[in-house]
Structure 1
């Protein structure tokens, strides 16, 4: 069998994934489950997609290694067991984001390390089908987060693999963004460094256990799967920066710029996640609890009812956590678990709610309207490992020195590429009509 190129593998995977998606929807028009033969067709195609995924991972690794040896990137050192070549040391210790941004302001072409990093990122974007502005600075997050093995404590002799030459203080925008989202705190599943469109299988049913006599024939029970696709989608934020700050080349000042952008993007990700959660908790999905026509106060029974909903769907099979805002938190900290008891609050002092950890974020809305009720709040309980967040490539920075010129400021537009999806809607339950007046 002739060896296939990475492009051929990616093209074949796209065709197989599309065929699997089509096969999974055969019964949709008739509102029925797949027949055994139809499911076998779908399952076979899914198996082919997984096999191609393994080949693609292998092809990418080989391609990256060969490219590294040619260009002086990681893996291209004189010794095969060294993870940091001379070129890698130069790249990682020499890259300066502020310098690259300033070159764009002054209309100068990037050169040196900054030009090499730009070429790497643009190549990844083309591979992922991401369209860039064409006049920005593009940085793969791993460039700012690169570590030698010494840095990660994988060797016994400090410095023997060049790790000390890597600037450990730098962070990438995507890492800062993740750290500043409530999604990271609740345990959502982040997948970074993705490439291309992805199709994920999701198990929807469990096998039925049968009790049989010694010679009784058993019935086959199918385990049904669905699938969902994730594609990179552009998200952006605008951050004002002074030219004087951009002139600073220290790691502290680079981190200041990156952190400002990362925190701004994290708020967009938080808001997008909440909007998605509000959409999937519906009476149609059976995972919404309504407190009243116009909303109502919440008590311990309502909190426990969310757990019962998820457990009833057989989806309480991971670490569950509650998510709400500070108003609901304050209300539950002044509400007794049971009326007439010793005053134990529903929301415990160690941020435990009904035995599960509870996270508070004011991105969760407190201005919901229902009937005549206003300023209502939401509360979610979820198996957050079923909430998938995909991050592609790196970050594109486009700098504008015109819009804010009267304030002697520059405006940086940062484009990041992500998508998110709840793999199982019924892994989440919620309430969105909570009256929080104390």
Structure 2
């Protein structure tokens, strides 16, 4: 019997004994032999229930103190057995989901996830494999699932995330993260002086679900294959379809339909109109004065070329960007950071602590297959829509400095 059931039964017996005694008290008499016998029986039952309660409580406490069995591996094994191709084919063939795919979707629906198509785990798009083979599936089964090392969807192509952004997976609804805005200050006092209140102040940063999706096309012949290499090919195609849009938004996002990108959110600005070593150090000094320790530069390929061909000091060896680093910090180069439009266009450079970025992901990836879309149908192909939900917010906007005046 469960602990709560034992307690309910004991409470009922106590109430029964109280009712028996109350009858005699109301009539202002002692209990008679029959009532005494009934009371003794109830008393014995209460004592027995108290013994059961003590034993059940002991077991619950012991179980609570027992180290739990990690469930990450079991979940990883389930997710690793899910096939993206099977998710598409089940919709094309209009059949019920089976196996690991059915189990995963049932679990997601129990957690409140809704989908127009079929849900597949985000982890399918995160794993790293040294090689693919058509003779074994070992390459797609993780040896050790590390939830603490989770890297979100699209890891291979997301420049911002590769620079250290923190990923918060499996979110539900809006996520509010408290943030300390000001700190207390210490004060030196003379004898009898009173301390001045310098209490902390707080505000919040919020991650809100924002949806990104794309439509791609797969041939029927491709979907009829059933080996790990083709499965990985389909996954990589989905990654490539969505990754550029996500990465672009993390930098240029307007904060309306898209996440608020770094160019919009960052509060620090700098200038490299005069491109020299002293100007670079001035930019870094501005971050140091805010107690920010930057970990990366981010720039466009044309800006990188300019930096690689600009001497640190006239007449002396050494360039501003040398060996992939500038002023001791690594430089990430991507076309995802656009030049600033104008006549002429100027180059952009972002520097900051990219670990101050939170990237949130909601739920799984929704895959909806449409075999009757007009164009793909005529070619014997299948149209596939991919949807995922994410958002990005810097924990501290002052952790980044944006420079937009580099002459090219």
TM-score by length of 2: 0.69
2:366 to 396, 412, 415: 396
1:265 aligned onto 2:239: no
1:408 aligned onto 2:369: no
Cα deviation code 1:374-432 (max 9, x no counterpart): 33221001111221100111100111222322333322211011011112211111111
Q: Which residue of 1 aligns with 2:48?
A: none
Q: Which residue of 2 aligns with 1:115?
A: 102
Tell me the CA shift for residue 364 of structure 1.
Answer: 0.6
Aligned counterparts of 2:355 and 2:83: Cα–Cα separation in 1: 36
Cα deviation code 1:74-102 (max 9, x no counterpart): xxxxxx858599x9798456432212211
Q: Which residue of 1 aligns with 2:60?
A: none
Pair 1:299–1:144, CA change in 2 (3 A): closer
Contact 1:180 1:266 in 2 (8 A): yes
Q: Which residue of 1 aligns with 2:320?
A: 346
Q: Which residue of 2 aligns with 1:310?
A: 287
Contact 1:118 1:137 in 2 (8 A): yes
Aligned counterparts of 2:69 and 2:144: Cα–Cα separation in 1: 25
Contact 2:152 2:169 in 1 (8 A): no
Pair 1:178–1:289, CA change in 2 (3 A): same
* Structure 2: gaps spanning 5 or more residues: 5-67, 128-137, 253-260
1:325 aligned onto 2:310: no
Tell me the CA shift for residue 352 of structure 1.
Answer: 1.4
Secondary structure, in 3 states, of the residue corresponding to 2:232? helix
* Residues 142-161 of structure 1: pairs in structure 2 closer than 5 A: 142=123
Contact 2:174 2:207 in 1 (8 A): yes
Aligned counterparts of 1:197 and 1:168: Cα–Cα separation in 2: 31
Query: How many residues of Structure 1 are paired with residues of Structure 2 in the alignment?
Result: 320
Pair 1:408–1:302, CA change in 2 (3 A): farther
Aligned counterparts of 1:137 and 1:419: Cα–Cα separation in 2: 22
Contact 1:395 1:416 in 2 (8 A): yes
Larger radius of gyration: 2
Pair 1:243–1:374, CA change in 2 (3 A): farther
Q: Which residue of 2 aligns with 1:23?
A: none
1:429 to 398, 401, 404: 401
Aligned counterparts of 1:191 and 1:168: Cα–Cα separation in 2: 21
1:336 aligned onto 2:311: yes
Aligned counterparts of 2:239 and 2:151: Cα–Cα separation in 1: 7
Pair 1:223–1:111, CA change in 2 (3 A): same
Using the TM superposition, name which of 210-219 and 409-418 deviates more: 210-219
Pair 1:261–1:169, CA change in 2 (3 A): farther
